[in-house]
Amino acid sequence: YGIDTSGKYAVQLRYSDYQNYDYLIVMDEYNMINITRIIPSDPQQKIHKLLDFTQRGGNIADPWYTGNFDVTYDDVYEGCTCLLEHILHHDAALL
């Protein structure tokens, strides 16, 4: 897909991230359950599944298990596009 990921790495979510970030995005229900172990409540409604920003909602399947990397790419692309649209229309001050 031509996406350069050099210099990018994952970090573990911390409780303090809730105060430091405006959006905490997860890929599926399992991630949502795990995030509530670290951040037990979401009074500011910052925690979302990525596909909740699309019209269809749902979970993004992990291609490590499904082998469907193209489907996952399409889901992530759609979710990110809709998330950006949401931010532009509702949280433009963040930009």
Domains of the chain listed by start with CATH number:
17-94 (3.40.50.2300)
What is the structure's pLDDT at 7?
A: 95
d(C-alpha 85, C-alpha 95), whole Å: 12
pLDDT band of residue 72 (cuts 50, 70, 90) is: very high
Average pLDDT over residues 59-79: 97
- Give residue-wise pLDDT tens across range 1-49: 888 999 999 999 999 999 999 999 999 999 999 999 999 999 999 999 9
Report the amino acid identity of residue 25: I
Beta bridge partners of 27: none
Q: Taking the model in full, what pTM does it have?
A: 0.89
Beta bridge partners of 26: 49
Q: What's the chain's Rg over C-alpha atoms?
A: 14
d(C-alpha 52, C-alpha 79), whole Å: 8
Residue 95 has pLDDT above 90, yes or no: no
